[in-house]
Amino acid sequence: MALYVALCYYDRDQSWDSVPDPEFTPEYTEFARRATEAGVMRGGEALYPVTMSTTITVSGGKGGDVLVTDGPYAEAKEVLAGYFLLEAADLDQAIAWAVQIPAAWRGKIELRPVAPAHA
Partner 1 sequence: MDATGTLAGVLKGEGPRVLATLARTIGDLAVAEDALSEATITALDAWPRTGIPDDPRAWLAVVARRKALDLLRRESARAAKETAACRWGTGAAPDQIEEAIEAMEPQTSLRDDMLRLIFTCCHPALSREAQVAPSLRTLARLEVPAIARAFVVPEATMAKRLVRARAEIAAARIPYAIPADTELPGRLAAVLAVVYLIATEAHAPTGGPAVARVDLEAEALRLARLLASLMPDEPEALSLLALLLLTSARTPARTDADGNPVTLAGQERTRWNRAAIAEGSACLSEAVTRSGGVAGPYQIQAHLAAAHSTAPSWQQTDWDRIVGLYDLLASITASPVVALNRAVAVIERDGPEAGLAALTAIAGLEYSHLWHAALADNLCRLGRTSDAAGAALAVPAATAEGARSRHRGP
By CB under 8 A, name the binding residues for partner 1.
Answer: 2, 88-92, 95, 113, 115
Which amino acid, 70? D
DSSP 81-114: EEEEEEEESSHHHHHHHHTTSTHHHHSEEEEEEP
Provide the minimum distance between the beta carbon of 94 and partner 1 in the complex, in angstroms, as a whole number: 8
Looking at beta carbons only, is 14 or 100 nearer to partner 1?
A: 100
Q: Of the candidates 118, 97, 89, 105, which has an alpha carbon nearest to the alpha carbon of residue 6?
A: 97
Looking at beta carbons only, is 50 or 109 nearer to partner 1?
A: 109
Provide the minimum distance between the beta carbon of 118 and partner 1 in the complex, in angstroms, as a whole number: 14
Rounded Cα distance between 110 and 119, Å, is 27
Provide the minimum distance between the beta carbon of 42 and partner 1 in the complex, in angstroms, as a whole number: 15
Looking at beta carbons only, is 81 or 111 nearer to partner 1?
A: 111
